[in-house]
Structure 1
């Protein structure tokens, strides 16, 4: 059966950020994708457009373009685009995917669209990457936080915050695995049935060269009872920082939870393993192109997405998730 995604994210002409990161892997995995570009830039702007700490090490190898140009979509322009879709009666979606936004009115317009589409299709699944910040610093205006907390998160079915964003949304500090599990439970109570903390600063039992990610999924069985799966992943760090990884993570999680709707462990293992293959291929290519002892350029560090088609379709599992709770 055809499965269609409405993806509202940023767009770059050159490279892979936002919709450019999300569309190709979703199409490879069998999804039709309708894209609305919240911004349209010549290239990434240095990090805030899609940079996430999904098994990368911040502060390591990273390069910014010297220039960027482009346009930002306003709320009324978003509504015009959606109105055109609606007038043609092709506004039926199975999934909505959203990422970076830095304007309150635009985000509220997105909320209105999600509510309308969910009313038309109650089984629609909304995947939200609540891009707010990282490492204790917000890189969107602070007024977006209450919109995410009070309007966006309650509509989400799948939520992919990092540790800092989970702390912002719940008002709780995360200093241990137990704190993280409690924060995910609070996020569940706000609405999402699946929550994945894409990265944390928590110590890994596999050493400093790994990041810890956690996930929690609640599924209501046909008899009305609840089944819960909580997982933990130790993800190898790579000595580089990439742009577009968060957008790729959210898109892959959408796809693999669709293919494994009641198995968060399998969905996360495939998501993170694809990420690992893409990033390893990218850093190998970048270092080879730059040459010995030279720093790769921003263009050389763009994700090797097309070259990773085989890994996206059929990833070799290199990261296994540990089940913390399954009932």
Structure 2
């Protein structure tokens, strides 16, 4: 499709979608149907086009409504005669359009088959509960994204339970799934989101897929949560095989656009320990130099101004201006700690950060405020329900601590800002 000057040549596939839309929305699928479309010059870059839809209609209430809607000539009795309807559609180059503040933005007027923002999410899956794709897909869909999940593992439940059963996807099987998408020409994405995996060859295949997708869409954004380990009582420990570290450091991070490590993972990736906020900012600069434009250290043991009962998160976004100069926005957030062992919070965080940075691409402060505030709403609802089910004085079980995701739909969709970010 053309750019700002004119609509230009429009693919046959898009016009086919237009015809399907007109038939579905206006004709109810009844009677013989013919249509044709003509692209007109855009006005001031608006990308408007006329679609002329011709339809032979049977006598029915639907046909009369269709005629009134598009001012078709009507025969006595209210049925529409074969005639011509015209609707105006806004067209634009192939880019995602979910969310009014996104990189493409939502077009005004009617859209025949709205260009959808698609996310390829390669993460774990559980039948019961919310981790991995189960934690990421719902909030992304609520916020207007199409999600294509690839399940790196399929377990009955997360491994915090006493028992779990399931299967793991290997690198060959991942490649086979992706080849199926390619053969059907549906491997077109605006985002890739990845989380927990335990296999180095699987992770290397993910990198190959991301690189191929970036070749066909230079605007694709890769959001990576480099899940490797965490700190307990001040001591860091990896809970994935050690051979994943060089793959993340040397292959994954350089192709990632947004990364969401915790403090321990940021230290692993850079080989630098973090004791102060200044050192954390230096580590984020090192991560920027490795490739990512946006770095968010989701949790740390740094001491904040509000005391030890608050968790410190730090964010840094480095943008390149048109003149080649770089500008960096840095933020700090302090959110109250919740005394419980939640699972899936990192997956939820990365998914919502993807969504809110898409909707606020040049304002990391707002994107992080909405992400962390929504997280707090979900966690507070979860712990309240878990304690109520466990009973007074009892520790909630893993099942009782499963994230209350569906119950938090409104908070995910439109979070009240209860956690403010400070610009550094």
Q: How does 1:261-300 map to 2 (within 5 A)?
A: 261-300=361-400
- CA distance, structure 2, for counterparts of residue 237 and residue 318 of structure 1: 14
- CA distance, structure 2, for counterparts of residue 94 and residue 23 of structure 1: 15
Partner of 2:294: 194
SS at match of 2:378: helix
| Aligned partner (choices 178, 181, 185) of residue 278 of structure 2 | 178
1:293 Cα deviation from its structure 2 partner: 1.5
- CA distance, structure 1, for counterparts of residue 207 and residue 222 of structure 2: 11
Partner of 1:160: 260
Partner of 2:224: 128
Partner of 2:418: 318
Q: How does 1:2-151 map to 2 (within 5 A)?
A: 2-46=116-160, 65-135=161-231, 136-151=236-251
- CA distance, structure 2, for counterparts of residue 181 and residue 207 of structure 1: 20
SS at match of 2:334: strand
What do the CA deviations read for 1:200-244 (whole angstroms, capped 9, x no partner)?
111111011101110000111233222210011111101111000
Give the TM-score of the pair, scaled to structure 1: 0.93
For structure 2, the residue ranges without an aligned partner over 5 or more in a row are 1-96, 98-115
| Aligned partner (choices 317, 321, 331) of residue 231 of structure 1 | 331
Q: Taking CA–CA contacts closer than 8 Å with sequence separation of 6 or more, which of the two structures ends up with the larger relative contact order? A: 1
1:146 Cα deviation from its structure 2 partner: 0.4
Give the TM-score of the pair, scaled to structure 2: 0.72
Partner of 1:62: none
What do the CA deviations read for 1:73-116 (whole angstroms, capped 9, x no partner)?
00000011000001000001000000001101101111110010
- CA distance, structure 2, for counterparts of residue 17 and residue 277 of structure 1: 17
RMSD: 0.7
1:181 Cα deviation from its structure 2 partner: 0.3
SS at match of 2:151: strand
- CA distance, structure 1, for counterparts of residue 251 and residue 149 of structure 2: 22
